[in-house]
Amino acid sequence: MPIDYDDMMQSGATGLSARYDEKDVMLYALGVGMGRDPLDEKELPFVYENNGLKVVPTFASVIGRGEAPPASQRMPQKSSINFAMVVDGERRITVHKPLPPKCDVIADERYLDILDKGAGKGAVLIQERKVREAASGEALFTIVSSIFARGDGGFGGKPQGGPALHEIPERAPDLVTEADTRPDQAFLYALSGDRNPLHRDPAFAKMVGFPRPILHGLCSYGTACRAVLSTLAQYQPERIKQFDVRFSKPVFPGETLVVELWQDGGTISYRASVKERPGTVVLNNGLCQLA
């Protein structure tokens, strides 16, 4: 059944509860490449709890991932999305308070807009998720994301809209760093909540148009955050107040991200390409705001 715009715009959910603990935090850090060198004392606090666990800011992306809303708050039956054809489009995390190593949280979700790229071209679903601590009620973070539903265009909606993209400076980057991924990276990252077979099942990936499983877009996003943390943020996650990206092309597990960084005061611009496929930009319009 095609998208019903008015129906979906009224289908938000409030008061969604979730919790995470130190195990979830460490598993996510491993899933985006932290701890490759077990003797690296700068990365150890992200994967080992005994000396004060640090949280990668993009961990916010997986908090409550996979938690189903109550039956009364599920997407109305008038609309359906072919989730087999869905990929990440854009992501913005605004961090209001450094993430604690464990926490009970409450989330409110809503659609901000739904764009129609046309029949055979897909639809863009723009969502907002606000998350707060359950105990104190204090805001933790806000996520604005867009997902590209490749099989759901042509419902008669407007084609343009959404948040403006951050412009990458035209000058040469101030710093270039590499961030690796492992061939089994998608299997590890999937344990943080996104078990879409597109990222692990070769037959499924081919069925939906990819030559082989692709890495989760949000894993590439977290890997880019690792690149910023390990360089300009000096492994201080509390300094990262905002982290944005546009997903341009897929990454295959085992490929290396070449991350270009531009610094203008507390504003970090970034872009990532794949070392094994020169010239292939996979993350674009990246923005990191540092305290």
Which of the residues are catalytic? 194, 199, 214, 217
Q: What is the dihedral of CA 164, 166, 169, 172, to 10 degrees?
A: -140
How far apart (Å, rounded) are the C-alpha atoms in residues 12 and 33?
33
How far apart (Å, rounded) are the C-alpha atoms in residues 19 and 106?
9
Choose among 98, 88, 89: nearest CA to 25: 98
Choose among 221, 229, 218, 220: nearest CA to 290: 229
DSSP conformation class of 238: G
DSSP string, 121-156: T-EEEEEEEEEEETTT--EEEEEEEEEEETT---SS
Task: Identify whether the C-beta of residue 261 lies closer than 8 Å to the C-beta of residue 268.
Answer: yes
Q: Which amino acid is at 195?
A: R
